Structure 1
């Protein structure tokens, strides 16, 4: 595995965590939104990632010089039920007096945000270590 592969792997991991943080930010921003129907209620977004394995030649077959990267497969909506509350005085309540709140769980989102931030930080640290290793190799070559 070359240093370039490490940069590519860490870069793809960092991009994945940025996408994860973007969806978390959207979820937290819409945590307390209400709607007049269940269909219109905001549903939490969750990114779906996949590990992509490649050999040095670019094939997806297994081999001795195998590397991996993270690929964003898409964003899906949470299947958790939205909260229905009886608020007949709310201007957007339906004919039965109910409003529908988003299915965002703020505690879960905050925990997920901390996890994504840590993962991003780990990728940055890996890049720093690789950079330090490359500098050490260059210093050895000058000796």
Structure 2
């Protein structure tokens, strides 16, 4: 692996993990967003990662959840239909929180690779100065 290749690969990982963290934050923030039954529910975003031939990783796309969501009986809600139902996103908070931990750990690992590479490059520069 070349001198700057580890930094390049770590940089692609940082970008993908940041996108994943952003989408998870949006999903968690909107997990309790209620709409009327005549509207689409909030659609969760799922990041699709793709390995690159050069060892990095890219965001291949963002898949969206089901706009149907789930119907919840809540006759006192101001958006309830005549039958007392509202539409709620079909988001499992437990799954979102588990993914959040994985995305955070991946981001932290990429940061550590960057720091380790920078320390190595700085040590090499110090050798040249002596």
Class of the TM-score when normalised by the shorter of the 2 chains = 0.7 to 0.9
User: 1:114-133, aligned counterparts within 5 Å?
Assistant: 114-133=101-120
Partner of 2:13: 13
Change (3 A) 1:38 1:76: farther
Task: Tell me the C-alpha RMSD between the 2 structures.
Answer: 2.0
Partner of 1:31: 31
- Pairing 1:72–2:72 present: no
User: 1:1-143, aligned counterparts within 5 Å?
Assistant: 1-37=1-37, 40-53=40-53, 67-79=54-66, 82-143=69-130
Structure 2: any 5+ residue segments left out of the alignment?
none
Change (3 A) 1:81 1:105: farther
Distance in 1 separating the partners of 2:91 and 2:21: 15
Residue by residue, what CA displacement relative to the aligned partner does 1:63-102 show, whole Å, maximum 9, x if unpaired?
A: xxxx322111111123597332222232212232211111
How far is 1:104 from its partner? 1.5
Distance in 2 separating the partners of 1:15 and 1:76: 17
TM-score by length of 2: 0.87
How far is 1:19 from its partner? 0.4
Change (3 A) 1:38 1:4: farther
